[in-house]
Amino acid sequence: MERTFVMIKPDGVQRGLIGPIISRLEARGLRLAGMKFMMVGKDLAERHYAIHKGKPFYDGLIEYITSGPVVPMVWEGTGAIDLVRRTVGATNPATAEPGSIRGDFAVEIGRNLIHASDGPETAKFEIGLWFDDAELVSYERDADRWVYE
Ligand code: IDP
Ligand code: MG
């Protein structure tokens, strides 16, 4: 089982898409390991997006992510990092495949609804940035044997 960090961004909350987005991940067979509902301070936003500092969209990105409440989550499953990235779709919703979250619910790159870790290193860093160990839950679901061999 691999864990990945996922966050519904402020536009997802404002547009009433918390439920539909979580439903996609649940229906895929992934298992929720942690979840919060919170405002993001500038300091946390800057640490989360440190890799993009200096890019033309950086200031707008920080403003966007701190503009309203978000839903940070940890999801787990076999190959969860890549699986979630595919379920989320391309960064620019204009080119995201229909059937993906961004491809079905979003239009512009600066309002693309959801964040997901892009690799094992990023996932480890982001999970540690947003969650304490004690906030993550390890458990089994009866349905897991029908999802995982
Ligand atoms: P990702 O979210 O698919 O991993 P990244 O390239 O890591 O995409 O960019 C982080 C976030 O920054 C994007 O999800 C999007 O919200 C924002 N972003 C990236 N490129 C642009 C841009 O060209 N204009 C506006 N916002 C952008
Ligand atoms: Mg990224």
Q: Whole-prediction pTM value?
A: 0.98
Please tell me the residue having the least CA distance from ligand 1 atom 8. Answer: 91
Report which ligand 1 atom has the smallest distance to the Cα of 65. 16
CATH of the domain at 66: 3.30.70.141
CA of 116 to the centre of ligand 2 (A): 7
Q: What are the pLDDT tens digits along the chain (149 aa)?
A: 999 999 999 999 999 999 999 999 999 999 999 999 999 999 999 999 999 999 999 999 999 999 999 999 999 999 999 999 999 999 999 999 999 999 999 999 999 999 999 999 999 999 999 999 999 999 999 999 999 99
Whether 42 contacts 62, CB under 8 Å = yes
Residue 93 in any domain: the answer is: yes
**What does the alpha-carbon distance between residue 15 and residue 46 come to, in Å, rounded to a whole number?**
24
Residue 146 in any domain: the answer is: no
Which tokens belong to 85? 């990235």
- Decide if 48 is catalytic: no
**What does the alpha-carbon distance between residue 106 and residue 111 come to, in Å, rounded to a whole number?**
7
Residue 122 in any domain: the answer is: yes
Structural domain for 117, as ranges: 2-136
The burial class, CB within 10 Å (0-12 / 13-18 / 19+), for 72 is buried
**What does the alpha-carbon distance between residue 62 and residue 98 come to, in Å, rounded to a whole number?**
27
